[in-house]
Structure 1
Amino acid sequence: METQKKESHQNNLIEKDAIDKMRKLIDKGGSCFFVTRANLSNAHKSRPMAVQKTDEVGHVWFLSAADSVKNMEIAKDTNVTLYFQGSSHSDFLELNGHAVVSKDRAKIEELWDPTLKAWFPEGKEDPSVSVIQFIPESGYYWDNKHGNTIAGIKVLINALGGGSVDDSREGELNL
């Protein structure tokens, strides 16, 4: 009986490679589910958030209302998880770390986008604008090896032929 050797799909990344992968996947998604842990019912709270910037050391930056529930929860417990999805078939990212809230005016100026006036009518000078700096400590990613088009073609060919294909790639991100 002949056995087939299964190709490993695990590709753990460290330091610069992990940060590069993280930044690439964040850029594809642009927004995430921002999950805090501290709240009245001790359950996780999740809400969508737009990423303003991911810097060269892997910190993820957001703007938020200073009096938001999210900011109050971060004051109680700085542990946060971010979930990103770049497409319906790939580019998934989970990041675990902690968040720091500040009113750093220079950082608000740097991160400001005119579309944020929908939440902050007074613009970047709005006194309720705060900065959230997310500092990742670990993460996990799932994507495919050859891009969505090639992966889709492989799935179609194998579905018609009765075979199976696993074009996935995943791994830990050690930051």
Structure 2
Amino acid sequence: MIDIEKTIGNLIDKIGVSFIGSIDNEGFPNMKAMLPPRKREGIKHVYFTTNTSSMRVRQYKENPKASVYFCDTRFFKGVMLKGTMEVLEDNDSKEMIWREGDTMYYPLGITDPDYCVLKFTAHNGRFYSNFNSESFTID
């Protein structure tokens, strides 16, 4: 088996768009395109920025089950990770992934009440490459 964590980590680091999935109040999956993650800790923890007032944040607060999908369209490779999403609103988390220029989205800066961090924790996943899929667990 390939070094799945290294391969997937490289894929995540190179993509331009991420997709996150949540569950709505009727139990249906919802997908949303996002900017690439701001930070990752291996493939276990992946961090995104978003608006606190967003529909996705409300959904994750009601049901933390989540998925993320990363794909390399050039080589037709992809990985789906399943796990849970936490909504972090503490200053340490917000400072950890803040970048210059983020005031375009959050005009009040790091303390903007409409700025929060999504922390995804992966439990398992499925990797697709070269016409093959492989499921795996994440410790």
Question: 1: distance between equivalents of 2:32 and 2:91?
Answer: 25
Report if the CA contact (8 A) 1:26-1:84 is conserved.
Answer: yes
Higher strand share: 2
Unaligned runs of 5+ in 2: none
Mapping of 1:98-137 within 5 angstroms? 98-137=84-123
Taking only the aligned residue pairs, the percentage that are identical comes to 22
1:19 corresponds to 2:5: yes
TM-score (norm 1): 0.70
Please list every run of 5 or more consecutive structure 1 residues that lacks an aligned counterpart in the other structure: 1-10, 145-167
SS, match of residue 62 in structure 1: strand
Helix, strand or coil for the counterpart of 1:136? strand
When you count helix as a share of all residues, which structure comes out higher? 1
Give the letter for the 2:137 counterpart: N
Partner of 1:156: none
2-side partners of 1:99 and 1:80: how far apart?
6
Compute the RMSD of aligned alpha carbons. 2.0
Partner residue of 1:140 out of 126, 129, 135:
126
Instruction: List, as ranges, runs of 4+ consecutive aligned residues in structure 1 with deviation greater than 3 Å.
Output: none
How is 1:1-175 mapped onto 2 (pairs within 5 angstroms)?
11=1, 17-39=3-25, 41-50=26-35, 51-56=37-42, 58-144=44-130, 168-175=131-138
Provide the rounded CA distance (Å) in 2 between the counterparts of 1:32 and 1:57.
14
How far is the alpha carbon of 1:169 from its aligned partner? 4.7
Cα distance between partner residues in 2 of 1:120 and 1:87: 30
**TM-score of the superposed pair, with normalisation by structure 2:** 0.85
* Bigger Rg over Cα: 1
How big is each residue's C-alpha offset from its partner over 1:115-138, in whole Å with a ceiling of 9 and x where there is no partner?
Answer: 432221122231221111100011
